[in-house]
Amino acid sequence: MQHHDISASSLPRPFETQSAGNPPRVSSPPSNWKPTVPNGYDVTLFASGLDDPRNMILGLNGDILVAESSAGEVKILRGGQKITFARGLDYPYGLALRGNMLYIGEENAVARIPYPAGGNIERIVALSAGGGHITRNVAFSRDGSKMFVAIGSASNVSPEGPPRAAIMQYDTNGRGARVFASGLRNPVGLAWNPQSGALWTSVNERDGLGEDLVPDFITDVRDGAFYGWPYAYIGPNEEPRRAGERKDLVAKTIAPALLIQAHSAPLGLVFDAQGDAYVALHGSWNRAKRTGYKVIRVPFRNGKPAGGYDDFVIGWLTDENTRSVFGRPTGLLFLADGSLLISDDSNGMIWRVMKKK
């Protein structure tokens, strides 16, 4: 498996290369096909026939809750069955449990519904749809007293203020809104680092500056921090399309913790019991040489990335120069036995990766 280490000092200049429009063509994999995993691991098909499965969380008694975003539903996977738990949702993505409630991040709201009993959907936070990025992830603080909601921008580099391009904080009833961190073009994954206790996010960066700009990233999320978008990128490097507009914000821009190859589109983010991170790279649509379409592992030491990242599960992308791919990994979930579930939203599948016994 390949190792990658991208440094800010090695980045090209803006517009050094042209940007490309190069969306994938997703094909159903052959009947005997499986993703490729490292030596010492096995991979099996865990579920199929789902409609745009994206984020996943672990419920009670082994229930696996899956957001079927395009279908507007949340499914429960239980004993080989697919049970519709909630329907009539507006592009559900984020899922989080607190007490006897399931919280759901919709494009235009944060909703909650009793779990496992089911019942009426209550929308407790109104969010502006407004176009652009539509995933809304949800996570609760360790003590359950605060709710964090990741909200992407409506544009590529147009000035926007929070709640867009930010991680917002609320109380458990959706009140007390405050900006926790901003300047994040499209934060998607949310996870708590078990070593440091910090909140981490995966971020899709901006387009149009070239083949290798701007790198996507994962980073710890600091209270009150500004991460650059749209005025700067990867620290205080001024965005040329917003030059001279907010030098104050450029100067205060915090560099992210770990850079990922530009246009990889990191979505799902989880930590294992040892504190290493795993990230699902949904894959590029605007890079001449395709990238992403895999799950990476980020080794951590003392709560911080130890240096670069490694390919962990690959094979959906057979050739960086071809348009056809076998899927787009999206959501990640560790089960109690240590196995890792990977959702593929384009082919309606969930794969399971576990160590050989």
Q: Name the 3-class secondary structure at 236.
A: coil
**Distance from first CA to last CA of the chain, Å, rounded?**
21
Q: Do β-strands 178-182 and 225-226 pair in parallel, antiparallel, or remain unpaired? A: parallel
The vertex-69 CA angle with 84 and 25, nearest 5°, equals 125
What one-letter code names the amino acid at 220?
A: D
Instruction: Name, in order, each residue with C-beta under 8 angstroms of 316's C-beta and a sequence gap of 6 or more.
Output: 35, 283, 293, 294, 325, 326, 327, 328, 329, 344
Q: How many CA atoms lie within 13 A of 73 on its CB side?
A: 13
pTM of the model: 0.97
**Model pLDDT for residues 177-231, shown as the tens digit of each residue:** 999 999 999 999 999 999 999 999 999 999 999 999 999 999 999 999 999 999 9
* Helices and strands: H and E segment counts in the chain: 1, 32
Give the span between the Cα atoms of 318 and 21, in whole angstroms. 19
The letter for the amino acid at 156 is N
Q: Rg for the chain (alpha carbons), in Å?
A: 19
**How far is residue 194's CA from residue 337's CA, in Å, rounded to a whole number?**
17
Nearest to 346 by CA among 22, 65, 69: 69
SS3 221: coil
Compute CA 254 distance to the chain's CA centroid, rounded to the nearest angstrom.
Answer: 20
Q: Say how far apart CA 167 and CA 202 lie, in whole Å.
A: 12
Tens of pLDDT, residue by residue, the chain (357 residues): 799 999 999 999 999 999 999 999 999 998 899 999 999 999 999 999 999 999 999 999 899 999 999 999 999 999 999 999 999 999 999 999 999 999 999 999 999 999 999 999 999 999 976 789 999 999 999 999 999 999 999 999 999 989 999 999 999 999 999 999 999 999 999 999 999 999 999 999 999 999 999 999 999 999 999 999 999 999 999 999 999 999 999 999 999 999 999 999 999 999 999 999 999 999 999 999 999 999 999 999 999 999 999 999 999 998 888 889 999 999 999 999 999 999 999 999 999 999 998
For 126-145, what is each residue's pLDDT tens digit?
997 678 999 999 999 999 99
C-alpha of 260 from chain center: 13
For 240, the token pair is 């040329």
Ordered by where they begin, the domains of the chain are: 3-10+17-355 (2.120.10.30)
